[in-house]
């Protein structure tokens, strides 16, 4: 009887934990979709960060809680790109970097924290291009290590693609390589339906793949990718009102 009760307890707890995780993803997902209204989106991200800090305080040694906090902080930092809110970025970037470095130091073969830190350095360069000579090589080394450590991670491939897409060709950027990496990321996400449920990184990957196709002159594939993103999430306003019309306009002007 005790064994049965214990098993039922563990089953219920596992379900509870999974439900909590999905709820957290849904909150981040909604914050990302709300980025058409920049101020609202940033406020949502700040609330998520505050909530995850509270959760970490209840169990400071829990690496999953620290990772969840780091993901939320990264989401907040990226939200500042929309209106170049450097003050908000500066308020949170140091703590985010510290948390990711802690995850890296304590989990030597975990690629996602390395990839996120590489991307964070890219955000720093965005705000201060002069720092590119310092943070560019560090970002490149981290993202390559992340690929070796966790080659089956769609997040790692997405952030690697971003690195190749945004880095100048002189310093290692490669549009064709970026496209392949975005495609690889999407393939990995779609290999497991649970990976794409309420996953803002998945939507973001499709948005960037479309932009990469368009830059490469593959307009039809860009439109197809944007339409796929809207089929996945009809409320994806950034694609619906910005990226897709821009791609269609390119067709009509040729």
What pLDDT score does 31 carry? 87
Q: Are residues 168 and 182 in the same domain?
A: yes
Report yes or no on 146 lying in a domain: yes
Q: Are residues 170 and 121 in the same domain?
A: no
Report yes or no on 188 lying in a domain: yes
What pLDDT score does 12 carry? 33
What pLDDT score does 35 carry? 55
Give alpha helix (H) positions in 80-110.
Answer: 86-106
**Per-residue pLDDT tens listing for the chain (254 residues):** 433 333 333 333 333 333 333 334 788 988 888 756 888 889 999 999 999 999 999 999 999 999 999 999 999 999 999 999 999 999 999 999 999 999 999 999 999 999 999 999 999 999 999 999 999 999 999 999 999 999 999 999 999 999 999 999 999 999 999 999 999 999 999 999 989 999 999 999 999 999 999 999 999 999 999 999 999 999 999 999 999 999 999 887 76
Burial class (CB in 10 A: 0-12, 13-18, 19+), 227: middle
Q: Are residues 195 and 230 in the same domain?
A: yes
What pLDDT score does 254 carry? 67
Report yes or no on 205 lying in a domain: yes
Instruction: Give the closest residue to 236 by CA, choosing from 29, 80, 76, 75.
Output: 29
What pLDDT score does 46 carry? 96
Tokens of 141: 């080394």
What pLDDT score does 23 carry? 39
- HEC string for 150-212: CCCCHHHHHHHHHHHHHCCHHHCCCHHHHHHHHHHHHHHHHCCHHHHCCCHHHHHHHHHHHHH
Is residue 165 within 8 A of residue 212, CB to CB? The reply is: yes
What pLDDT score does 8 carry? 31
- Pick the last residue of a domain from 134, 151, 168: 151
Domain carrying residue 82: 37-151
What pLDDT score does 14 carry? 33
Distance CA 181, CA 177 (A): 6
Report yes or no on 166 lying in a domain: yes
What pLDDT score does 6 carry? 36
Domain holding 47: CATH number?
A: 1.25.40
Report yes or no on 6 lying in a domain: no
Q: Are residues 135 and 169 in the same domain?
A: no
Tokens of 136: 């560019």
Q: Give the position of tokens 């920049």.
A: 38
Tell me how many domains the chain contains: 2
Q: Give the position of tokens 């999905």.
A: 22
Domain holding 185: CATH number?
A: 1.25.40.10
Report yes or no on 219 lying in a domain: yes
């Amino acid at each position: 009887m005790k064994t049965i009760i214990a098993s039922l307890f563990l089953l219920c707890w596992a379900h509870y934990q999974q439900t909590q995780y999905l709820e957290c993803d849904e909150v981040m997902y909604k914050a990302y979709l709300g980025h058409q209204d920049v101020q609202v989106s940033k406020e949502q991200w700040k609330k998520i960060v505050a909530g995850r800090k509270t959760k970490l305080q209840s169990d400071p040694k829990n690496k999953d809680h620290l990772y969840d906090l780091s993901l939320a902080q990264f989401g907040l930092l990226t939200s500042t790109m929309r209106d170049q809110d450097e003050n908000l970025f500066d308020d949170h970037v140091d703590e985010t970097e510290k948390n990711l470095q802690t995850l890296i130091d304590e989990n030597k073969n975990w690629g996602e924290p390395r990839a996120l830190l590489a991307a964070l350095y890219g955000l720093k360069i965005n705000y201060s291009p002069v720092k590119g000579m310092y943070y560019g090589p560090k970002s490149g080394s981290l993202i390559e290590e992340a690929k070796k450590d966790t080659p089956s991670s769609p997040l790692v491939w997405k952030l690697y693609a971003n690195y190749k897409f945004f880095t100048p060709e002189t310093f290692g950027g490669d549009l064709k390589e970026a496209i392949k990496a975005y495609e690889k990321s999407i393939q990995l996400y779609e290999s497991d339906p649970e990976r794409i449920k309420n996953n803002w990184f998945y939507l973001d990957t499709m948005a960037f793949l479309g932009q990469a196709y368009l830059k490469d002159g593959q307009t039809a594939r860009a439109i197809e990718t944007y339409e796929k993103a809207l089929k996945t999430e009809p409320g994806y306003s950034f694609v619906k009102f910005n990226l897709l019309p821009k791609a269609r306009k390119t067709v009509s002007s040729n």
